[in-house]
Structure 1
Amino acid sequence: MDIQHLNYLVDIAKTESISLTAKRFFISQQGLSQIIQKLENDLNVTLLHRNRHGVTLTDAGKAVVEQALEIVQKYEELLQVVQPLTNTNVQSIKGHLSISAAPNVSYNYLPEVLDSFNRKFPQVDVQVEEKQHFLEIIQQINDGVVDIGLVILPDYSYQEQILRVNATFEKISENPLLACVAKTSVLAKKKIITIKELSAYPIALYSHENYLSMIKHMFKDLSSLNISVKTSYVEVYKKAILDRKAVGLTSFSDFRLLDDEAIITVPIENSFKLIYGCFINSLNPVTEGFLSILKLVAAHKLTGKRVHKG
C-alpha cells in the first residue's frame, strides 16, 4: 500500500469527487479510479458509494480515512525527523518563495510556520503579501505571480473556487463558523445559538473583505445587524467581546483570539464551514517543505482547540 494512495483517498473524502481529486493531483480520472479499486481489493471492503453526483464514503471508507489521516500525518512527521539525516542538505538550497495570504491565515499561522521554515531553509528569501479577498489570491496563483496562496474558502463555494485554479490545492483545516462570547455573557451557557438569535446582540466583525462577504452570505443583510466593531486588529476585536459583550464570529483557527481563556465558543445552528487551504503553483523541495511545516503547525495548534462545554 502506497502512502500517496492514502492521500488520494483522504482527498476524495474532502472533495466527494474522483474527477476533482484527479485534477488536483494531476493524474487521470481513470488512473485514480483504478488506485481506489486496488485499495478496496487490498482491504477487502467497499470504500466509496458512487452516484451521478459524485462519491461518498461507506462506513468502511470512513473508518479507513480516519486511520489514513493518522498514518499520513505520522509519515510527514517521520520525514521531518529523518530529513537532517538524509543526503539532501536543504539548508544549502537557495531560492525565493513568494506567498499571498488571507489576513486571518497570515497572523494565525505564518509567524510559527515562517520561524520553522527560516531555520530549515536559511538561504531561501521569503516574500509575504496579504490580500483581502481569496479571488485576488486565486488570480495571483493563476498568473504565476506567487508560489503559494493561503486562502480561506467557505464550504458552500469551495469546490467551485478550487476548480478555477490551475494549481495543486491542499486542505489544511476545516472548521465551522462559531459564535465567540465572554464567559460572563448571557450566551455563555447556551449549547447552540441560531442565526436569528445572533441578530439580537451586538456583533464584532473583522474588516477583511473576504470574511465580510461570508458573513453577509449567512445574514443576507449586514445593515440589519448591530455591529459593535469592525476591525482588522485582534486586540480591538477581543475587547469588544470582553468589555462590550459583543458576539464575535470566527473559527477554531482564530488562535490569537481563542487563546484567551475568558472567551468561549458557541456552535451556530446551520452555520457554514471555513476551509483553510494552500494553493501551490509548482511542487519542489522549497514549496513542499513549506507545506509540510504548515500542516504540522496547523495540526499541533488545532489539537488544543477548545470546545464549548455548555
Structure 2
Amino acid sequence: MRIEHLKYLVHIAETGSITKSAEFFHISQQGLSQAIKRLERQLGVPLLNRQVNKISLSEEGKKLTAKAKDILLIYEELLMELQPSIKAHGQELNIIATPLLSKTILQRVLFAFFKKYPQINMNIVEQQPHKIIDQIIGLKNAVGILSARKNFLNKYAVLNRRDITFNKITECGVFACAAKTLPIANKSAITTGELIKYPIVVYNSEHHIQMLQELFQNDGKPNFKVVTTDWDFYQKTVASGIAVGVSTYLAKDFQKNGPFVNVPIETGNEFNLLVGYITPSKQPINPFLNDFIKILKKLPLGNSSR
C-alpha cells in the first residue's frame, strides 16, 4: 500500500470522478484506475462500485477512505516535524482576518511571531467573516481570524462544518469607547438608548455596520458621524471627542493608545462576540502555523472596562 494510492482514493471519494481526479494528479485515467485496482488486489476487497458513467465507494471503500484521511494528515504532519528548521526559509503562512482584528491584535501576533521566525513569509488578506470561511478552505498553511456573533456562526453552520474547524479564543461584550472628556466616560455602564444620543464613528466594514444597525434597532436611527477605513483616523476621532466608537476586542488597544475610557454597553449576551480562528480541516497544521496560533491564543483578550 502506497501513500499515493490513498491520496487517489480520497480524492475520488471527494469528486466522485476518476476523470477529475486524474486531471488533478496529472496522470492518465488508465493509470489512476490501475492504481486503485492494485490497491484492491492488495486488500482483497472492492473499493469502488463501477457503473457506466458513475463511480461510488463500496462499503469497504468508505471505511478505508475515512481511515486514509487520518493517515494522510498524520503523514503530512510527520514530514513537517522531520524537516530541519532551515526548511522554514521560503515557507509562507496565509492569514485571513477581519479588518479590525487585522489592525489590532494581529499586529501584536506578527511582531512576536517574526522574532522567532524572521525567515517566514506572510500573506495577509482582510476579509469579512463570511468570505474568510469561503477562502480558507483548500489553502495550505492558513488560518482565518475573526470575531462574530453567535447568530452568524449558526447562520453559516460554522461550528458543525467538516471542512473547517473553528476554535474559540474568548468571548467579548460590547463597549462604548469614548474620550475621557465626554460625560459618558463617568458611567459604569450605558444603555443603547443613552448611547444613541452621541455621534458614532464607524469602521467601514459590512460586518461592523450591520452590528451597529442591529444594536440600535429598537432606539431609532444612530448618527454615524464619521465612517472610515483609516484606523488611525478612527482612533483620533474618538480621542478628540468628536464621536464615540463601539467595539469589543479593541478595548485594551484603546487604553494603550490614547485617552480613552471603555464603558460596557448593557446588551445582555445577545451581542457578545466570539473571537477565534478557523483552519481547514483537511490541511495539516505545520509547526510554524502552530506556533503562530499559540501566540494568538496567549494574547490578553476579553472583556475590559476601565
TM superposition score normalised by structure 1: 0.62
1:101 aligns with 2:100: no
**Cα distance per residue 1:255-275 (max 9 Å; x no partner):** 443323521011111151122
CA distance in 1, matches of 2:112, 2:292: 9
**Cα distance per residue 1:40-86 (max 9 Å; x no partner):** xxxxxxxxxxxxxxxxxxxxxxxxxxxxxxxxxxxxxxxxxxxxxx9
Q: Is the 8 A contact 2:96 2:126 kept in 1?
A: yes
1:286 aligns with 2:288: yes
**Cα distance per residue 1:102-155 (max 9 Å; x no partner):** 111111122232233233334432211111x11111100235477111111113
CA distance in 2, matches of 1:143, 1:201: 44
CA distance in 2, matches of 1:142, 1:279: 10
Q: Is the 8 A contact 1:138 1:165 kept in 2?
A: no
CA distance in 1, matches of 2:168, 2:276: 4
Whichever residue aligns with residue 295 of structure 2, its letter is: I
Whichever residue aligns with residue 93 of structure 1, its letter is: A
Whichever residue aligns with residue 169 of structure 2, its letter is: I
Quote the residue 1:253 is aligned against. Answer: 250
Decide which of 113, 129, 137 is 1:134's aligned counterpart.
129
Identity of aligned residues (%): 29
- Distance of aligned partners of 1:219 and 1:99 in 2 relative to their CA distance in 1, 3 Å threshold: same
Q: Is the 8 A contact 2:200 2:226 kept in 1?
A: yes
Uncovered stretches (5+) of structure 1, i.e. residues with no partner? 1-26, 28-85
Pairwise CA distance, 1:251 = 1.4
1:200 aligns with 2:200: no
CA distance in 2, matches of 1:157, 1:294: 22
SS at structure 2 position matched to 1:217:
helix
Pairwise CA distance, 1:250 = 0.8
CA distance in 2, matches of 1:120, 1:189: 42
Whichever residue aligns with residue 114 of structure 1, its letter is: L
Q: Is the 8 A contact 1:172 1:275 kept in 2?
A: yes
Residues 75-94 of structure 1 mapped to structure 2, 5 A cutoff: 90=85, 92-94=87-89
CA distance in 2, matches of 1:146, 1:284: 7
Q: Is the 8 A contact 1:150 1:279 kept in 2?
A: yes
Considering only CA atoms, is the larger Rg found in Structure 1 or Structure 2? Answer: 2
Whichever residue aligns with residue 264 of structure 2, its letter is: P
Pairwise CA distance, 1:160 = 4.2
Q: Is the 8 A contact 2:178 2:241 kept in 1?
A: no
Give the aligned length: 219
Decide which of 118, 124, 135 is 2:114's aligned counterpart.
118
- Distance of aligned partners of 1:88 and 1:116 in 2 relative to their CA distance in 1, 3 Å threshold: farther
CA distance in 2, matches of 1:239, 1:191: 23
Q: Is the 8 A contact 2:228 2:234 kept in 1?
A: yes
TM superposition score normalised by structure 2: 0.63
CA distance in 2, matches of 1:121, 1:91: 11
Higher mean C-alpha deviation, range 157-166 or range 255-264: 157-166
- Distance of aligned partners of 1:286 and 1:146 in 2 relative to their CA distance in 1, 3 Å threshold: closer
**Cα distance per residue 1:158-186 (max 9 Å; x no partner):** 34442356222222222111111111111
CA distance in 2, matches of 1:207, 1:215: 11
Whichever residue aligns with residue 100 of structure 2, its letter is: N
CA distance in 1, matches of 2:93, 2:245: 34
Residues 1-310 of structure 1 mapped to structure 2, 5 A cutoff: 90=85, 92-94=87-89, 95-131=91-127, 133-144=128-139, 147-161=142-156, 162=158, 163-164=160-161, 166-220=163-217, 224-270=221-267, 272-281=271-280, 282=283, 283-296=285-298, 298-299=299-300, 302=301, 306-308=304-306
Uncovered stretches (5+) of structure 2, i.e. residues with no partner? 1-65, 67-80
